[in-house]
Structure 1
Amino acid sequence: MTLRTLGALSVEGVTFRREKVLLLLAYLCLEGPQPRRRLAELFWPDATNPMNSLAQHLVHLRGLPGALAEDGQRVAAAMPCDAATLRDLVRRGRHEDAAALYAGPFMDALTIPLGADLEEWVFDTRDAVAQDARAALMTLGAQAAAHGHGPRAGELAARALTLDGAPPPDELDLPRLHHLLSLAGHPLAAQVERDARSLGLNLTAAPTPISAPFAGREAELAALNTLTPGQTAWISGHAGMGKTALLEALARSGGWTVLAGRAEPPYATLSPLTAAPPTHPQAAHAALRDPHLRVAIDSWDAADPATQAALTHAAAARPGAVIVITSRHHPPFDVDLHLNLGPLPPGDLRAHPEVHARTDGHPVLVGHALRGQPLDLRLGARVRAYPDPVRDTFLLLALQDQPNLRATRAALNQDAATFARTLAYLTTEGLTSETGRVYAAATTREHLNQIHVHAALLHLRLARALPEDTAWPHYDRSRDLWEDPDETRAAHAARHHAHTHLKRGYPGQAAALLDTLSHLPTLAVPHAWALIGVGRYQDALTRLNTLSAHDQQVSDALAARAVTLIRLGRTDEAVTLAEQISGSGPDAAHAASVRAHAARIREQWDAARRHAQIAADLWNLHGDDEAHLTELGMVARAQVGLGSEPQVAFKEVLRRSQDLPSVHGMILVNYASLLGQSGDMPGARAALASALEPLAAAGDQQGLAHVHSNIGVSCHLSGELAQAAAHYRQALQLLKGSGNVRLLGATLSNLSEIDGDLSAFGDALTLLEQAGQVDLVQQIRHNARMVSAS
């Protein structure tokens, strides 16, 4: 429940009309806990027994749930009140919410007689609440003007001027109201001008709106516009962080004089404030004594020493004027408000979400984007003018999303002190963050890539300095400049990068990367693993055959060949190779897995369970949780073959794999297959549906493709052909670019039995033909013709 006092008097949600009881509650809400005697004397000054009158009214308040909090001789309100909430919102800078809450004058509907003191309190509170609401409206109007929205500024100023219950605007409000109303060409501007003349105030016409786009900084503008006479604010920030733009917006909001810092002569910066240029400290101090003056100095760093001394004195002496100063540095003296500007947060650009994505919120770049100008217009020109070491530092940092400062320094061949100075310079110039991250680096990279040779040289310098596990993208972009020593290190970097793709569940990307390096023998085994991952088993075998006779007998090559052969159905050959692998390393784990798959194919379930468990234990020994749990899934499959119910066999591995979404999802797929084979089609469908969320969370496109393909098969077998076709198409969409020829072919074959139109899948059929799946392509085309004929 809320006590409503603005425009009407009531308690939200209940019917209660005792005015004096509600007035007592409002007083407690606004003034805080009160002694009982103080309340009795204020509300019933002429009563024979004021304390008794108070007691009777408190009885009524106790009937309102949550209205009172009593502590001995003190009474407090425990219910929110709209007037108190409005005042609190203004204090916290939530001006829009405060303005929306004002529904009329405070306690305007009272009909009961009041004592003199209580009546004075009602009238004073009415004025204070209305003035807070007016201040909120004027702040919103100033913000609208700052952002170039003149009509909106005028509308808010008119509401503030004519606010019901508010006293006439004073000599501080009139100039600001006149500015906002004149900016919009509002007819009430003439009335404000007449009122100002009657008070002896001289009003200036509204300035011409500045056309430069300005976004965000609402909190900063509101804070600056609420400064009171005698206060000083300081705005700091690196170059390009929008200090000058903020002052220009402040000027548009009304009532501010903005002065540019000037280096000479003495007091040159302050000279526009006086009839004649100040020549001594007293004259400069006198210029800052006017309490109606709101002056902003842009910037402290450019101002002459005499002006700096006068501003320092003013900050301490508080002569009257409101003073705002900008600088690249923090204030050298105490100030009332310090705003340190950085990039604009996404919330400040919520009306232009694409702009933040392109600019990282860098104010200069935001301005360019809003004007439709190239983002490189100013920053690029500045960078090109820097000395070569500074420019190259900037460009090397821009090539990295998360800069490695140590590698960058090594690529530049700079000592630590020189690199630190260069980085600090780029930061103060507003080009990089403190961590070296370049603002809107993608734009810089886009322009740099147009200078191919220079970009490739920078990438190569960076690739040589970065650790091998992060160097490949830069080696990839500098291939034309590789020298002989680069080949070996680039191969190692490519191996790391491909392994990362495989671990993330993207074997297609790993295969595509290593396809381009098929001439390097050192990458034959990782290339084969990537090809196995996408179902290109014959290609994997061909790649392994490029190894020398000696290298083919190395255990990692034997493991890859054994896995390839088991996938090709050449079970005996695969087992023979697996038996040549000894030890307890990853290759031995692969060998045990091969033996488990061979036993599964032969339906030798006890051997399948035993070998899968050995593989699982070996992967566990090496800390590979994903491979460990994947093999435990095979153990569960073998247990079902031995007679266990799928629900029992898979219960523990499903529980243990929950924190590994991709593995958990694929185990659910295998579990669903066994449920389907046992005749539990609803359970199979439910398991497949459950697999969608973890696989999506893992970003496992192929896993999702498996799920949709299996759901398609389930629908297909149940005669739900339309649903089956939809799931098959979803699987094919997910398989785009994956390189998984095996699953692509199986899914397309199933779809061809339902839908005779294969015109949309020409690329997929070509891919299958290129992968040697000619018989499968012929079968798919035959199925499609059969459907079309029917």
Structure 2
Amino acid sequence: MTLRTLGALSVEGVTFRREKVLLLLAYLCLEGPQPRRRLAELFWPDATNPMNSLAQHLVHLRGLPGALAEDGPRVAAAMPCDAAQLRDLIRRGRHEAAAALYAGPFLDALTIPLGADLEEWVFDTRDAVAQAARAALMTLGAQAAAHGHAQQAGDLAARALTLPGAPPPDELDLPKLHHLLSLAGHPLAAQVERDARSLGLNLTAAPAPVSAPFAGREGELAALNTLTPGQTAWISGHAGMGKTALLEALARSGGWTVLAGRAAAPYATLSPLSAAPPTHPQAAHAALRDPHLRVAIDSWDAADPATQAALTHAAAARPGAVIVVTSRHHPPFDVDLHLNLGPLGPDDLRAHPELHARTDGHPVLVGHALRGQPLDLRLGARVRAYPDPVRDTFLLLALQDQPNLRATRAALNQDAGTFARTLAFLTTEGLTSETGRVYAAATTREHLSQIHVHAALLHLRLARALPENAAWPHYDRSRDLWEDHDETRAAHAARQHAHTHLRRGYPGQAAALLDTLAHLPALAVPHAWALIGVGRYQDALTRLSSLSAHDQQVGDALAARAVALVYLGRADEAVALAGQISGHGPDAAHAASVRAHAARMREEWDAARRHSQIAADLWNLHGDEEAHLTELGMAARAQVGLGAEPRTVFAPLLDRARDIPSARSRLLLNYVMLLGTLGQRREAEVLYPALMQALHEAGDTFGLANVHINRGVDAHESGDLTGAAEHYRAAIAHLRGTGNTRLLGVALSNLSEIDGNLSAFEDALTLLTGAGQHELVAQIRRNAQVQTGP
């Protein structure tokens, strides 16, 4: 429950109407714990027995759950109150929430007579709460003005001016209100001007409309606007971090004078503050004595030495004015507030959610984006003007998401001192972070890609300097410039990059990469494994045939060939090759997996489980979690064949494979297909969306084709021939180029059966027969609905 005192007097959610009781509760909420005697004398000054009157009202308050906290002679409120919440919100800088909470004047609905002291408290509190709400509205208006939202600033100022229950604005508020109202061209600006004139105040002319966009920095603006007379603030940051933009926004918020640092003559920077330019220290100090002056000096580094000396003296002497100074460096003297600006964070740009990803929060780039200008407009021009070594350092850093500084220095052939100075220069220029990361590097890369030869040369220099496990993307982008000695190292880098894809569970990406290097025999085996991973088994056999006769007998080549053969349904050939592999390495794990697969094809479940478990144990021994989980899935399939419940054996494995796409996709595939085989089609249907997504993420074309064939069979058997045909055609599209004759023949024969095309049906069976799939052909003929002969 909450006590409502703004615009009404009630307890939220309770029909309680005793005004004096609620007034007592409001007093306790706002003034804190009170002695009982003090309350009695304040609320019942004319009563015969004030303590008795208090006791009676406390009885009523005790009837409100959680209203009171009593401690001997003292009484306190334990219930939230909207007026107290408003004050707390303002203290915490939550001005928007505070303004929204103000629903009307404090205790404006009171109808009971009050003693003089209590009445004075009500009126004073009403003014104070309303002034707090007005201050919140004016702060919001100043922030809107700072960000270039003139109309919003004017509307907020108008609300502040006409706030119910608020006293007339004083000489401090009138200039701020006039500034915000004039900025928006609001008709109430004329009224404020008349009120100011009656108080003898001279208001500045209406400011020009603002078109410069500004985002973020709400916290910095609020901190600067809360500085009090005599205080000094310092704003530091590298070039482009928004120091000048912050001062411009501060000026738009009202009440600030912004001066540009100038070194033309002594005190040139401070000359606009007085009728005659200062010519000696006393005159400069006098210009900073006005406690109503709020002055910001843009660039300490550009100011003349005499101005710097005057500002140093003012920071120590506190003559009266609020002083803000910007610089690329930290303050050389003590200040009351130091703001060190860096890139804007995602929260600063929450009004423009796509902007941070495009700009990395770099203030200059944010400004360009808000104005609809190319992000390269200013930074690109600056970079092009730098000497070649500096420019190439920047570009080499921009080509890397996480720069390798050692490799970058090697690519530049710079000594450590030169490279460190160059990097420091780029950082102070606001082009890179302290770690060498280029802001909005994607934009630089996009522009660089338009200069193909120069970009390729930079990529090649990086590729040669980076470790092999990070070099491939740069070799890939510099192929046209490879020299003979680059090809061997590029092949090693490609092998490592493809292996990373395979380990992460993305065989499709590995296959796509190695497809482009099919002319290199050194990559035949990793290429074959990638092709097997996406179900292109015949392509894998073809790739392995490019090896010499000797290399084809090496363990990893034998294992890859055996796996490809068993998935093509040529189990006897696969088991024979597996028999040539010995030891306890990865090749032996593949050999055990081949034997398990052959046993599953013959539905010899105990042998299948045993060989799959051996393979899983070997993979676990070598730390390959993806292969370990995949093989455990095969063992789980065999356990179901021996009578286990599918969910019992598959659920723990799926949970373990959450972050390994390839393993998860294979486990899901086996689980869902198994459910369909067991007739649990409703359970399988629920899992199809997750399965399809997992297979797409893993790039598993074989798995996708398998799913479509199984779904086609389900639709076929239930009489949905149109749906079945769609699934079979989708499977055929996925199988195109994979070399998987077995699945292709199944899809073609089933589709031709639906179409009633006897010739196509026989062609599909001929295809399967030629691939040695005699048992499958016999099964299809038994199940076929098309009559193929008398």
Is TM > 0.5 for Structure 1 vs Structure 2? yes
1:554 CA drift (Å): 1.0
1:696 CA drift (Å): 8.2
Query: Mean Cα displacement is larger for which, 335-344 or 125-134?
Result: 335-344
- Identity in percent: 84
Aligned to 1:345: 345
Q: Secondary structure at the match of 1:550?
A: helix
Aligned to 1:86: 86
Query: Mean Cα displacement is larger for which, 352-361 or 90-99?
Result: 352-361
Q: Which runs of 5+ in 1 are unaligned?
A: 757-767, 773-785
After superposition, give the CA deviation of every residue in 1:722-763 in whole Å (9 maximum; x if it has no partner). 766787798899x6999797799589759957998xxxxxxx
Letter in 1 for 2:397: L
1:21 CA drift (Å): 1.5
1:263 CA drift (Å): 2.0
1:594 CA drift (Å): 0.9
Root mean square deviation, CA, Å: 3.0
In 2, the alpha carbon distance for the partners of 1:464 and 1:561 equals: 34
In 2, the alpha carbon distance for the partners of 1:25 and 1:516 equals: 79
Aligned to 1:302: 302
In 2, the alpha carbon distance for the partners of 1:20 and 1:644 equals: 75
Aligned to 2:121: 121
After superposition, give the CA deviation of every residue in 1:353-389 in whole Å (9 maximum; x if it has no partner). 3333322221111222222222111101111111222
Q: 1:69 to 1:736 in 2, by over 3 A?
A: farther
In 2, the alpha carbon distance for the partners of 1:25 and 1:115 equals: 17
Give yes or no for the alignment of 1:240 onto 2:240.
yes
Query: Mean Cα displacement is larger for which, 537-546 or 342-351?
Result: 342-351
Give yes or no for the alignment of 1:546 onto 2:534.
no
Indicate conservation of the 8 Å contact 1:596/1:609, yes or no.
Answer: yes
Q: 1:251 to 1:644 in 2, by over 3 A?
A: closer
Alignment of 1:485-634 (within 5 A): 485-634=485-634
Alignment of 1:374-453 (within 5 A): 374-453=374-453
In 1, the alpha carbon distance for the partners of 2:633 and 2:333 equals: 68
In 2, the alpha carbon distance for the partners of 1:699 and 1:266 equals: 70
1:23 CA drift (Å): 1.5
Q: Secondary structure at the match of 1:338?
A: strand
Indicate conservation of the 8 Å contact 1:4/1:12, yes or no.
Answer: yes
Q: Secondary structure at the match of 2:112?
A: coil
Q: Secondary structure at the match of 1:372?
A: coil
Q: 1:690 to 1:182 in 2, by over 3 A?
A: closer
Letter in 2 for 1:331: P
Aligned to 1:679: 679
In 1, the alpha carbon distance for the partners of 2:210 and 2:488 equals: 59
Indicate conservation of the 8 Å contact 2:233/2:336, yes or no.
Answer: yes
After superposition, give the CA deviation of every residue in 1:480-500 in whole Å (9 maximum; x if it has no partner). 121222111110110111122
In 1, the alpha carbon distance for the partners of 2:296 and 2:738 equals: 63
Indicate conservation of the 8 Å contact 1:358/1:440, yes or no.
Answer: yes
Q: Secondary structure at the match of 1:572?
A: helix
Aligned to 1:777: none
Give yes or no for the alignment of 1:51 onto 2:59.
no
Aligned to 1:781: none
Aligned to 1:272: 272
1:579 CA drift (Å): 1.0
Q: 1:28 to 1:414 in 2, by over 3 A?
A: farther
1:431 CA drift (Å): 0.7
Q: 1:560 to 1:333 in 2, by over 3 A?
A: same
Aligned to 1:72: 72
Q: Secondary structure at the match of 2:233?
A: strand
How many aligned positions are there? 758
1:339 CA drift (Å): 2.3
Q: Secondary structure at the match of 1:346?
A: coil
Letter in 2 for 1:318: R
In 2, the alpha carbon distance for the partners of 1:281 and 1:99 equals: 45
Indicate conservation of the 8 Å contact 1:507/1:738, yes or no.
Answer: no
Q: Secondary structure at the match of 1:609?
A: helix
Q: Secondary structure at the match of 1:377?
A: coil
Q: 1:737 to 1:76 in 2, by over 3 A?
A: farther
Give yes or no for the alignment of 1:255 onto 2:261.
no
Q: 1:686 to 1:380 in 2, by over 3 A?
A: closer
Query: Mean Cα displacement is larger for which, 474-483 or 151-160?
Result: 151-160
In 1, the alpha carbon distance for the partners of 2:262 and 2:297 equals: 10
Q: Secondary structure at the match of 1:347?
A: coil
Aligned to 1:29: 29
Query: Mean Cα displacement is larger for which, 105-114 or 377-386?
Result: 105-114
Indicate conservation of the 8 Å contact 1:271/1:278, yes or no.
Answer: yes
Aligned to 1:454: 454
In 1, the alpha carbon distance for the partners of 2:655 and 2:714 equals: 25
Aligned to 1:760: none
Indicate conservation of the 8 Å contact 1:396/1:462, yes or no.
Answer: yes
Letter in 2 for 1:529: W
Q: Secondary structure at the match of 1:348?
A: coil
In 2, the alpha carbon distance for the partners of 1:523 and 1:412 equals: 30
Q: 1:20 to 1:680 in 2, by over 3 A?
A: same
In 2, the alpha carbon distance for the partners of 1:406 and 1:399 equals: 15
In 2, the alpha carbon distance for the partners of 1:466 and 1:232 equals: 48
Indicate conservation of the 8 Å contact 2:709/2:747, yes or no.
Answer: no
Q: When the two structures are superposed, what TM-score results if normalisation uses the length of structure 2? A: 0.89
In 1, the alpha carbon distance for the partners of 2:294 and 2:345 equals: 28
Alignment of 1:111-190 (within 5 A): 111-190=111-190
Letter in 1 for 2:625: D
In 2, the alpha carbon distance for the partners of 1:316 and 1:342 equals: 27
In 1, the alpha carbon distance for the partners of 2:152 and 2:645 equals: 71
1:316 CA drift (Å): 3.1
Indicate conservation of the 8 Å contact 1:732/1:747, yes or no.
Answer: no
Q: Secondary structure at the match of 2:378?
A: helix
Aligned to 1:775: none
Letter in 2 for 1:290: D
Indicate conservation of the 8 Å contact 2:537/2:740, yes or no.
Answer: no
After superposition, give the CA deviation of every residue in 1:636-665 in whole Å (9 maximum; x if it has no partner). 222333444545554664565566565344
Indicate conservation of the 8 Å contact 1:581/1:588, yes or no.
Answer: yes
In 1, the alpha carbon distance for the partners of 2:237 and 2:31 equals: 41
Q: 1:113 to 1:660 in 2, by over 3 A?
A: same
Aligned to 1:218: 218
Indicate conservation of the 8 Å contact 1:702/1:738, yes or no.
Answer: no
In 2, the alpha carbon distance for the partners of 1:70 and 1:732 equals: 80
In 2, the alpha carbon distance for the partners of 1:369 and 1:747 equals: 55
In 2, the alpha carbon distance for the partners of 1:183 and 1:655 equals: 60
Indicate conservation of the 8 Å contact 2:538/2:739, yes or no.
Answer: no
1:456 CA drift (Å): 0.9
In 1, the alpha carbon distance for the partners of 2:640 and 2:445 equals: 55
Q: 1:692 to 1:129 in 2, by over 3 A?
A: farther
In 2, the alpha carbon distance for the partners of 1:41 and 1:482 equals: 95
Letter in 1 for 2:432: T
Q: Secondary structure at the match of 2:269?
A: coil
Query: Mean Cα displacement is larger for which, 54-63 or 171-180?
Result: 54-63
In 1, the alpha carbon distance for the partners of 2:700 and 2:49 equals: 80
1:92 CA drift (Å): 1.9
1:583 CA drift (Å): 0.9
Q: 1:440 to 1:659 in 2, by over 3 A?
A: closer
In 1, the alpha carbon distance for the partners of 2:259 and 2:337 equals: 19
Q: Secondary structure at the match of 1:679?
A: coil
Q: Secondary structure at the match of 1:349?
A: coil
Q: 1:695 to 1:11 in 2, by over 3 A?
A: farther
In 2, the alpha carbon distance for the partners of 1:623 and 1:92 equals: 52
Query: Mean Cα displacement is larger for which, 547-556 or 277-286?
Result: 277-286
In 1, the alpha carbon distance for the partners of 2:322 and 2:742 equals: 72
Indicate conservation of the 8 Å contact 1:669/1:687, yes or no.
Answer: no
In 2, the alpha carbon distance for the partners of 1:343 and 1:576 equals: 63
Q: Which runs of 5+ in 2 are unaligned?
A: 756-766, 772-785
Letter in 2 for 1:308: Q
Indicate conservation of the 8 Å contact 1:562/1:578, yes or no.
Answer: yes
In 2, the alpha carbon distance for the partners of 1:420 and 1:7 equals: 64
Aligned to 2:38: 38
Aligned to 2:97: 97
In 2, the alpha carbon distance for the partners of 1:430 and 1:679 equals: 65
Q: 1:15 to 1:720 in 2, by over 3 A?
A: farther
Query: Mean Cα displacement is larger for which, 52-61 or 425-434?
Result: 52-61
Q: Secondary structure at the match of 1:168?
A: coil
